[in-house]
Amino acid sequence: MSADIDQLALIVDEAALEARGVEQLTIQNPELTPAEGYEIQARAFSMRLARGEKQVGIKMGLTSRAKMIQVNVSEVIWGRLTDAMRVEDGGKIDRKRYVHPRVEPEVAFLLKRALSGEVSPAEAMLAVAGVAPAMEIIDSRFNDFKFTLPDVVADNASSSGFVIGPWTEPGADLTNRGMVMEFDGRPVQIGSTAAILGDPVRSLVAAARMVGKAGLELKPGWIVMAGAATAAQPLVPGVYVRNTVEGLGSVAFFVGAA
């Protein structure tokens, strides 16, 4: 193998810790593959766990056309979530902890059973304890938010934080729920859950398949973020951010003044 996985993991981990933009890994390592990207992600994640963080789920990324177009990467990807990345619903984030944060309107699943490998949408839904309106704070550690597929995978799929609203029992169809994300009450992104692979449950199916391929499973109690329904919106200091999903309610947080 050409790339030094440990050394590249250290670069993305330190960049995230210090909220400092770094050069894309593929500039020095043009041969880097997506599979190596996932190895780097896993290695960097083990550094977070060694600091005491606990895995609480995963995030799916690039599950909508709007997102693929925004970052010019056309593959569904996944990353890992820890307890330290969670922002309380209605809570406040400190802008200084991020390089160039953006926020995305999402929905989240809470699992009551393990899932791994090939499952049908119906099987996936049987493992779901709740669905919730959610937002993800993404913050690519790469300069100018520019990356290729192996880079963004190595960088934990840009994940930096997540906010979960009230859980609703699953059951009702999730295919075409309107979503509105507002900054101080002004709509900044408007979309539908249909933009997420046609139905967010397909994102959960893809999550089970992708972690299964990595020899892992989605665990009971975990959260799975389905991916953004719209393009991500750059965060602004001092703003109140809210995402409302039709039939599921709202989730919100504040950005501290700069």
> Given the complex with ligand OOG, which of 65 and 112 has the nearer CB atom?
65
Residue 250: which H helix or E strand, with range?
strand 249-255
Stretch that binds Mg ion, among 192-200, 206-214, 228-236, 242-250 (CB under 5 A): 228-236
- Nearest in space to 227 (alpha carbons), one of 115, 85, 62: 62
CA triple 134-135-140, angle to 5 deg: 150
CA–CA distance, 178 with 191 (Å, rounded to integer): 6
**Sign (positive or negative) of CA dihedral 47, 50, 53, 57:** positive
Which of ligand OOG, Mg ion, none has residue 158 at its interface (CB below 5 to 8 Å by kind)? ligand OOG
**105 near ligand OOG (CB under 6 A):** no
Q: How far is the CB of 185 from ligand OOG (least distance, A)?
A: 23
DSSP string, 178-239: EEEEEETTEEEEEEEGGGTTTSHHHHHHHHHHHHHHTT--BPTT-EEE---SS--EE--TT-
Stretch of residues binding Mg ion (CB under 5 A), selected from 38-46, 127-135, 225-233, 247-255: 225-233
d(CA 94, CA 255): 6
Number of residues that bind ligand OOG (CB under 6 A): 16
The footprint of Mg ion on residues 97-126 (CB under 5 A) is 104
Return the one option of ligand OOG, Mg ion, none that residue 128 interacts with (CB less than 5 to 8 A, by type).
none
Determine the interface stretch with ligand OOG among 61-69, 125-133, 178-186, 248-256 (rule: CB under 6 A).
61-69
N-term to C-term CA, the chain: 43
Residue 112 Cβ vs ligand OOG, minimum distance, rounded to whole Å: 23
Of 3 and 223, the one with the shorter C-beta distance to Mg ion is 223
Which residues here bind ligand OOG, judged by CB under 6 A? 59, 61-63, 67, 71, 104, 136, 138, 140, 152, 157-158, 227-228, 232
